A and B are shown apart, each in its own frame.
Chain A
Amino acid sequence: MTSAAMIQVRDLVKTYGDKKALNGVSFDARAGEILGLLGPNGAGKSTTMKILTTFLSATSGTVTVDGIDAAANPLAVRAMLGYLPESTPLYSDMVVYDYLLWCGEMRGLARSDVIKRMAEVARVVGLESVIGQVIGTLSKGYKQRVGLAQAMLHNPKILILDEPTSGLDPNQIIEIRNLIRALGQNHTLILSSHNLTEVRQICDRVVIIHQGAVVADGTLDELEGRVASRHHLIVGIQTTATHDNDALKHMLAETPGAKSVAFSHSSQAPVPAAFFEVEADTDIRTALFERIRAAGLTLLELRRKSLDLEGIFQSLTQNA
């Protein structure tokens, strides 16, 4: 990871009429890093990206790409970018081959160069088999690959991908994520997502946007450090006739280090079980296990509750 800031975003404000979509967003993206823009729907990720790609102008604030002011010289900035907008808009009546050829030519590449480059890109994203197909007939996953292909066709310094995996099925998601990870090795890459897992898997650094403002900016480790100060566990115990939920809850609460216990839900199949959420300041999984065993109960499940975005925001905003 180099420290030179490829993209500098400073105090972006964007208002649509009375509505403020962005309220002073600032962050940097360093050359060669994969930056994740994280935030719930409507947080301002897309607006930020649209301003980054010079599709829109900011009401105030600046975007500098490789030292160039995007507002003053949008063409130079666009030339450096590859962009995959949200929901991957493509000319559905075009054949993949023609579409990529056209994109390359529009970006000023010679036809022969485009064809050479297209072969490479098609291999990387796995489009060889559908190159002669009309885009409208492709599956969502392939369309996404076409979108990626056009974004990287001209080997841009910077790739901006808005929700690259939304709407894909799990297998497709995995493929695309792998692809993006591979791309990140030699591009500066900004992607937006509302999926924490995705960000965790792909990104070097995360900027979290919430309600038009940056609420967090750091590496995943840093962020996780901040969020991980609370341990949140899910515990599933096989219920017996002698232990009702209250008793179990009580029993769990007695575990050393447990701050709070809340009944979550119960289930009957395959075995009757009750589930509880346990919060603690430290890792008390061993203690919990011991405690349950000591009580003569059967532990069915013990796992960390995954960090959902809302949770993170809650914690982050609370921390802030």
Chain B
Amino acid sequence: MKPVWILARREMAATFDSPIAYIAGAVFLIATGLLFFFGLGGTDDFFAAREATVRPLFEYAPWVLAVILPAVTMRLLAEEKRQGTLELLVTLPVTDTQIVLGKLLGAMGFLVVALAMTLVLPALVMSIGHPDVGAILGGYVGLLLIGTTFLALGVMASTWTQNQIVAFIVGMMLCMFFWTATDALLRLVLDQPPPALALLSFQSQFADFARGVVDLRNVLYFLSVTAIAVLASTYSLRSRHWQ
């Protein structure tokens, strides 16, 4: 697993060497901040609710992550393909799986930093009330998991094309689909979707984290989706052999 880490370290450095990270990071922070204080319609008022809670953050951050994270992952493999560096990369003595994992881990660097920067919000709330710190912790665990899953989907999209913009749009659509649309789409197709399918929705899987509960089932779900996305990315990389 050492190559994974070396690869990830380079990706992290590359991410934070480029202005994209700071633009995406700033957009993420401003967007979540605005949503946190004013809500989706811009009509809520965090202070007027007078409740010492960070819940709005966990309600809205996944929406923003679903848009921002694909912008971070879009270059990961598409750019390597376009520049031809992929050829050098995959002829290093590392497996395709290690490459995908390295890329994913590298992108997680951004996720962790972005989430860490949002800690100002809990800090603010703690300065003016007594929020449930445990619940906040649970929410962050959830954000980390759902963010990682979004990243894995983004990496997968990035392996499919050498055009970063295409990778971004496809990645974002995937994330949005899993985050929001599963329910609605299922409803379009089926009158009464079976409850098992409703579990596909990230939103229902994320709800427990936001309440401060880390449930194995939810963790398992996000890890499964991540694992499948990693596997699909690996096969997508490997597909050069059989083209």
Contact = CB atoms under 8 A, between A and B. Distances in A.
Contacts of A76: 93
A81 B91 contact: yes
A256 to B, nearest CB: 56
Contacts of B94: 75, 106
Nearest to A77: B93
Nearest to B14: A93
B192 interface: no
Interface string B60-76: 00000000000000000
Given A55-B91, A56-B240, A87 B6 contact: no
B93 A89 contact: no
Given A85-B84, A93-B18, A107 B243 contact: no
A93 B11 CA distance: 11
A54 B96 CA distance: 12
Contact of A107 (B87, B93, B240): B93
B3 interface: yes
B3 A106 contact: yes
A87 B84 contact: yes
Contacts of A150: 88
Interface string A81-112: 10101010111111000100011011110000
Contacts of B14: 91, 93-94
Contacts, number: 62
Given A75-B95, A79-B93, A57 B87 contact: no
B88 A57 contact: no
Interface string B220-243: 000000000000000000001111
A83 B91 contact: yes
A78 B89 CA distance: 11
B83 interface: yes
B13 interface: yes
Nearest to B13: A98
A78 B90 CA distance: 9
Nearest to B92: A106
B85 A108 contact: no
Contacts of A107: 92-93
A206 B241 CA distance: 28
A78 B91 CA distance: 6
A79 B91 CA distance: 9
A291 B13 CA distance: 73
A78 B83 CA distance: 21
A10 B152 CA distance: 40
A7 B148 CA distance: 43
Contacts of A57: 241-242
Given A75-B93, A106-B6, A93 B85 contact: no
Contacts of B6: 102, 105-106
B108 interface: no
B220 to A, nearest CB: 31
A55 B86 CA distance: 9
A44 to B, nearest CB: 16
A156 to B, nearest CB: 10
Contacts of B90: 55
A162 to B, nearest CB: 9
A50 interface: yes
B17 A78 contact: no
B135 interface: no
24 contacts: A53-B91, A55-B87, A55-B91, A75-B94, A79-B93, A83-B88, A83-B91, A85-B84, A85-B87, A89-B84, A89-B85, A89-B86, A90-B85, A91-B83, A91-B85, A92-B83, A93-B17, A93-B18, A103-B92, A105-B6, A106-B92, A106-B94, A107-B93, A150-B88
Interface of A: 16, 50, 53-57, 75-76, 78-79, 81, 83, 85, 87, 89-94, 98, 102-103, 105-108, 150
Closest CB pairs A-B (n = 7): A89-B84, A57-B241, A79-B93, A78-B93, A89-B85, A53-B91, A85-B87
Interface of B: 2-3, 6-7, 10, 13-14, 17-18, 83-88, 90-95, 240-243
